[in-house]
Amino acid sequence: MGKVIAITNQKGGVGKTTTSVNLAASLAAANRRVLLVDLDPQGNAAMGCGIDKQEVKYSSYDLLMEEVPASETVIKIPDIGFSVIPGNSDLTAAEVELMHADHKERRLADALIPIKAEYDFILIDCPPSLNMLTLNAMVAANSLLIPMQCEYYALEGLSALMSTLKNIQDSVNPELHLEGILRTMYDDRNRLTKDVSEQLIRYFGDKVFRTCIPRNIRLAEAPSHGLPVLSYDKSSRGSVAYIALAGEMIRKEQHNSA
pLDDT classification of 249: cutoffs 50, 70, 90? very high
- C-alpha distances out from residue 154 to 5, 86, 131, 215, Å: 21, 28, 19, 17
Question: Given a cut of 70, is residue 258 above it in pLDDT?
Answer: no
- Domain ranges in the chain? 3-257
pLDDT of 186 > 80? The answer is yes
Whole-angstrom CA distances from 237 to 101, 146, 216, 219, 222 are 45, 21, 7, 8, 13
d(CA 61, CA 211): 33
Does position 234 have pLDDT exceeding 80, yes or no? yes
Q: What percent of the chain has pLDDT over 70?
A: 99
For the range 219-226, what are the long-range contacts, defined as Cβ-Cβ under 8 Å and sequence gap of 24 or more?
219/18, 219/22, 222/22, 222/48, 223/18, 223/21, 223/44, 223/47, 223/48, 226/47, 226/48, 226/49, 226/50, 226/51
pLDDT of residue 152: 78
- The pTM assigned to this predicted structure is 0.96
Whether pLDDT at 257 is above 80: no
**Assigned CATH class of 3-257:** alpha beta
